[in-house]
Structure 1
Amino acid sequence: MSAKIWALSGAFAVIIATFYIGWRSSRTASTAQDFLVARRTVRSRRNAAAVSGEYLSAASFLGVAGLVLKDGADALWYPIGFTAGYLALMLFVAAPLRRSGAYTLPDFCEARLGSRALRGLAAVFVVFIGILYVVPQLQLAGQALANILPVPTWVGATVVTVVVIVNVFGGGMRAITVVQAFQYWLKLFAIAAPTFVMCLLFIGNGGLRDGQATTLTEALPPTFTQNTEIDVRTPVLLRVEDPVWLAARGETDGEPAMGTVYWGPGTHEVAAGTTLHFSKGSSVPVVAGAPADNESWLAPASNGGDLFSTYSLILALFLGTMGLPHVLVRFYTNPDGRAARRTTLHVLLLLSLFYLFPIMLGALSRLYVPELLVTGQTDAAVLNLPHSIAPGILGDILGAVLTAGAFAAFLSTSSGLVVSVSGVLSTDVLRGRVRDFRFATAVAGGVPLALAIAVRQTDISLTVGMSFALAASTFCPILLLGVWWRKLTWVGAAAGMIVGGGLVLASLVINTISNLTGGWAPSVFSQPAIITVPAAFLTVILVSKATPAKIPADVAQIRLRMHAPDNLGLTRDRAVASFGTAEERSRLADGRHRKE
């Protein structure tokens, strides 16, 4: 009970701090420019912390460690890809995007190609990506709170949604910028401090677990650290490496089980509602498809090595970052293109530092909480690990700190997504006023909440990976070619967006149906980027070449504005009609963010 009280205290401390900081920051927000782009006055260091804060989602804080626990070396592409995507963003997109004067991603599409139809299509995909990304954040928030309190999972999702809507409703981008910068440093502390403590405990014990030497390099399956009872909530297919005796109540291998069961090497089916009891020291069955022994867990591509999926994942993560609406919207808040590029460089450093720690926690989880491999709920590894390494008050405190960091991840990423979707809805569907933004905020938060409650939860990093694939297949070609290729037309951009986005959404539907009906779909449907991204680029280029009459007449002026140095003063704010005259914006700029 004390562990749950500590964890609950940590979660509510973050929620209260988030609400307070958002409320304080929202008091100076009064215009549409405040709500959409924070008056374009956010300096590079604060913006970098805010970008990192919203980018380090639940998939980063909890999902990466869970994937390392399950897949080992093969999972390292996730933190590498999450970080490396900012290198491409810095080199090719960040500064020209800011100099374009746009204030949303659909607005950039119209500014570059002069098409309202393309802008509307881009708005649709921004909403799709935002919903696809925010739903797993809310689901994992529900799971985290359900681990603390005996409440349904929808309660945690609702709490996070309410806090996010209130903050965004009150101050929009201006309030969320300060909140997300705070939450990055909170998340870094919340994951770094417990990791250091748990590593010191492990090393101080001489690398022993329960008096026995531990290793992750031998060709042995992981073993249970104590007598363990596991409740299987969803049907699962397990792979057994070494024979194991267990007690089961429910249904295994298609037959009723009530007592002692013997599992030989191979795969075994476990029905939902079954309870499994394993004795201390017995081998851990793992979810089918994951490495069954530690030696193969440590070696890349040793479990049948699906290199096609690996390359597809790398491509999605590397190119998807520059197409994520909630990431790109932050660069509209920089004062100029130089600050946008400097922001991206700082983000690379901040993310590289953060991702060291989930990897270490994933390795420790393989030793101390291997029971999660049975249920497949590996996303809970970070929250369960402290009590296995440090039982008692120390484990309670470490668990509370990690829970606080997890809720900061839920809140910061959800806030960024809701802001980006609200900005698009308010400017492309409604009239762009403050009241329109606030109404759009309620919609952008309420719809994902309903889906999070209705849709079955899956591995969060895999769901987020699909979001990256969608972003890479829709907006990445338009951004790269729009910035660097003068012959791009709006017809080609629209065709590429429809082809790339349509293929990814079709893969998502097929993969979802497959997961519910026996997992028959090939791996390409879970990682489709290696097909969809080239298809999108090829479509954009071919259709643009076939429609040269649709090249904007002012393309030379637009490209000069995007590539000219900032001190030439060629940047033009496209939002004057919505936000008022230049004199009014100059007056508003007196309340700019603190210079860093």
Structure 2
Amino acid sequence: MNPAVGVIALVLVSLATAAIGFYGLRISRTTGDFYVASRTVKPWWNASAIGGEYLSAASFLGVAGLILLSGTDALWFPVGYTAGYLMLLLFVAAPLRRSGAYTIPDFTEARLDSRAVRRVTSVVVVVVGWLYIVPQLHGAALTIRITTGLPAWVGSVAVVVVVCLTVVAGGMRSITFVQAFQFWLKLTALAVPVLFIVFTLAGDGSAAVAPAVVNPTGLAPAGPYQNISLLVALLFGTLGLPHVLVRFYTNPDGHSARRTTLIVLGLLSVFYLFPTAYGLVGRMFAPELARSGQADAVVLLLPGQLIGGTAGDLLSALVVAGAFAAFLSTTSGLVVSLAGVISQDVLGGSVRGFRLAAVVSAVVPLGFAVMTDSLALAGSVGLVFAFTASTVCPVLLLGIWWRGLTDAGAIAGMVTGGVLCGGAMVWGTVLGAAGTPFWLAQPAAWTVPAAFAVTVLVSRATKHRIPRTMSRVMTRLHTPERPLVTER
């Protein structure tokens, strides 16, 4: 691929993102605009924005790379990502919107009438957000290095600069426009090149290489434990992603939140057809990418390798633009959710505090990304899902559906899940991929049940701490009534 084409694609998508973000500044005036877009986002628009922020580096690049490496074992990733939204539809979307909260800590404080729970939830949400931002910046670094030849850190810095500009400009209102645009750009950027490749291969067989072996790496298939643990992480982890949950607060009501989630399910189902196709085509026609350690770059490299010429460059430029949009949209959603938490808990909840918190939320993970090497994108994000499933998810689900939850149980469960899953992640990093036992490499199968069990047991042992407001709060969550948290 011509490096100049890649640079032009990155510049154009960055300028388009900034322009849309600054357009949002014209209509972002109140605190409600910055935090939840004044709760006026319609289902189709919100669904596109959720798709924009949810389909991250792991979805755009990592899923295809894992399918290239592992074949059908990697199909659990798109299945789990999509099925997690079905659980959101069934168990979380409408009650969470009816809570009227701005952030997840708002919800836990209102549900359990406890400032201590709020503080612990805030710390967990910030940790989850930073863990999730780092792979996005790694993906941007990989894209810059592969397509332009520039130093990898340029990609990470570029994402942070553009995200900070758009978030600071208009908050949630601005980011909603940006993310909706970026979803459709990502879908187009994946669909057009892979369809072009498939039609070319099926039509005249003019691909640059011939079909190769079906298993390019010779990796042994994953066992039942790994598959089950991964599915647990993806299903339950989706329920606790702060940047996804905060978008439900932008819907006008609970019915709109359910409609939004239903539309997202359709959008995700269509989107994941294309990374899967890239992985399968790469597995047959470009197996050397797996053997050379470039699996995560298969989406970026296939058009130029199989089509070539000017057409290959143009298709590659489109893919690069879509990839950069993926990094920008997910990072911006995470920064918005983290800025809401940090500004309310530390900086007074003002618009100025939100803007300062947004910069902090983006700069801290940038430091970690620059100092660390990129891992397999989908695999690293899968561990973030496991951590989220072990911390935020139990409190959220039990807080919505179980009257017996107490503040002590919620804190004990979050701490237990965080220590167990975080410890497994750190231990696995120290040991390296080759030396990590399978139960540490995929810890969700035991850390998620442990977190739920501790939450329930401690709550039962502290029944006297069930808040007196519990009945009123539960009624509000499950009945379309006025918001639980007073509008700011």
Deviation at 1:319, TM superposition (A): 0.9
After TM superposition, the score normalised by the length of structure 1 is: 0.80
Cα distance in 1 between the residues matched to 2:119 and 2:386: 21
1:321 aligned to 2:238?
yes
3-state DSSP of counterpart to 2:239: helix
> Does the 8 Å CA contact 2:476/2:484 hold for their aligned counterparts?
no
1:116 aligned to 2:115?
yes
Task: Tell me what 1:93 maps to.
Answer: 92
How has the CA–CA distance of structure 1 residues 409 and 210 changed in structure 2, closer, same or farther, with 3 Å as cutoff?
closer
Cα distance in 2 between the residues matched to 1:563 and 1:330: 19
Partner AA of 2:223 in structure 1: D
Partner AA of 2:144 in structure 1: L
Task: Tell me what 2:442 maps to.
Answer: 527
Task: Tell me what 2:3 maps to.
Answer: 4
1:548 aligned to 2:463?
yes
1:17 aligned to 2:16?
yes
Deviation at 1:151, TM superposition (A): 2.2
1:23-43 deviation line (CA, Å, top 9, x unaligned): 001121122211111101111
Deviation at 1:149, TM superposition (A): 2.7
Cα distance in 2 between the residues matched to 1:317 and 1:147: 29
| Gaps in structure 1 of 5+ consecutive residues | 223-285, 292-302, 580-596
1:509 aligned to 2:426?
yes
Cα distance in 1 between the residues matched to 2:285 and 2:364: 38
How has the CA–CA distance of structure 1 residues 191 and 424 changed in structure 2, closer, same or farther, with 3 Å as cutoff?
same
1:344-370 deviation line (CA, Å, top 9, x unaligned): 000000000000000011111123322
Task: Tell me what 1:571 maps to.
Answer: 482
Cα distance in 1 between the residues matched to 2:4 and 2:356: 36
Size of the aligned set, in residue pairs, is 488
> Does the 8 Å CA contact 2:208/2:307 hold for their aligned counterparts?
no
3-state DSSP of counterpart to 1:535: helix
Partner AA of 1:132 in structure 2: L
1:168-201 deviation line (CA, Å, top 9, x unaligned): 0111101000100111111111101111100001
Deviation at 1:216, TM superposition (A): 5.4
Counterpart among 364, 371, 379 of residue 462 in structure 1: 379
Partner AA of 2:471 in structure 1: A
Deviation at 1:210, TM superposition (A): 5.8
Partner AA of 1:414 in structure 2: T
Counterpart among 404, 415, 420 of residue 332 in structure 2: 415
Cα distance in 1 between the residues matched to 2:17 and 2:154: 18
Cα distance in 2 between the residues matched to 1:521 and 1:14: 39
1:484-516 deviation line (CA, Å, top 9, x unaligned): 11111011011011101111110110011011x
Partner AA of 1:540 in structure 2: T
After superposition, residues 171-570 of structure 1 pair within 5 angstroms as 171-206=170-205, 214=211, 222=216, 286=217, 291=219, 303=220, 305-515=222-432, 519-564=434-479, 566=480, 570=481
| Gaps in structure 2 of 5+ consecutive residues | none
3-state DSSP of counterpart to 1:545: helix
1:403-441 deviation line (CA, Å, top 9, x unaligned): 010000010000000111111000112200111111101
Deviation at 1:215, TM superposition (A): 6.2
Partner AA of 1:183 in structure 2: Q
Cα distance in 2 between the residues matched to 1:28 and 1:304: 52
> Does the 8 Å CA contact 1:562/1:571 hold for their aligned counterparts?
no
3-state DSSP of counterpart to 2:2: helix
Cα distance in 2 between the residues matched to 1:441 and 1:375: 38
> Does the 8 Å CA contact 1:472/1:533 hold for their aligned counterparts?
yes
Q: Which has the higher strand share?
A: 1
Task: Tell me what 2:29 maps to.
Answer: 30
Task: Tell me what 2:78 maps to.
Answer: 79
Deviation at 1:209, TM superposition (A): 5.5
> Does the 8 Å CA contact 2:4/2:148 hold for their aligned counterparts?
no
Deviation at 1:573, TM superposition (A): 5.1
1:235-275 deviation line (CA, Å, top 9, x unaligned): xxxxxxxxxxxxxxxxxxxxxxxxxxxxxxxxxxxxxxxxx
Cα distance in 2 between the residues matched to 1:171 and 1:573: 26
Deviation at 1:143, TM superposition (A): 1.6
> Does the 8 Å CA contact 1:368/1:388 hold for their aligned counterparts?
no
Cα distance in 2 between the residues matched to 1:194 and 1:456: 29
Cα distance in 2 between the residues matched to 1:490 and 1:474: 14
> Does the 8 Å CA contact 1:369/1:384 hold for their aligned counterparts?
no
Cα distance in 2 between the residues matched to 1:46 and 1:179: 11
Cα distance in 2 between the residues matched to 1:514 and 1:305: 20
After TM superposition, the score normalised by the length of structure 2 is: 0.97
> Does the 8 Å CA contact 2:141/2:153 hold for their aligned counterparts?
yes
How has the CA–CA distance of structure 1 residues 368 and 4 changed in structure 2, closer, same or farther, with 3 Å as cutoff?
farther
Cα distance in 1 between the residues matched to 2:148 and 2:395: 46
Cα distance in 1 between the residues matched to 2:466 and 2:154: 51
1:140 aligned to 2:139?
yes
> Does the 8 Å CA contact 2:6/2:148 hold for their aligned counterparts?
no
3-state DSSP of counterpart to 1:323: coil
Cα distance in 2 between the residues matched to 1:29 and 1:211: 52
Cα distance in 1 between the residues matched to 2:476 and 2:381: 34
1:286-318 deviation line (CA, Å, top 9, x unaligned): 3xxx53xxxxxxxxxxx2542111100000101
Cα distance in 1 between the residues matched to 2:209 and 2:175: 48
Task: Tell me what 1:281 maps to.
Answer: none
Partner AA of 2:259 in structure 1: R
> Does the 8 Å CA contact 1:3/1:399 hold for their aligned counterparts?
no
Q: Name the stretch that deviates more: 25-34 or 545-554.
A: 25-34
Cα distance in 2 between the residues matched to 1:332 and 1:558: 17
Cα distance in 2 between the residues matched to 1:494 and 1:28: 39
Partner AA of 2:160 in structure 1: T
Cα distance in 1 between the residues matched to 2:430 and 2:20: 42
> Does the 8 Å CA contact 1:103/1:575 hold for their aligned counterparts?
no
> Does the 8 Å CA contact 1:53/1:180 hold for their aligned counterparts?
yes
1:207-247 deviation line (CA, Å, top 9, x unaligned): x75685x3655xxx64xxxxxxxxxxxxxxxxxxxxxxxxx
> Does the 8 Å CA contact 2:212/2:286 hold for their aligned counterparts?
no
Partner AA of 1:562 in structure 2: L
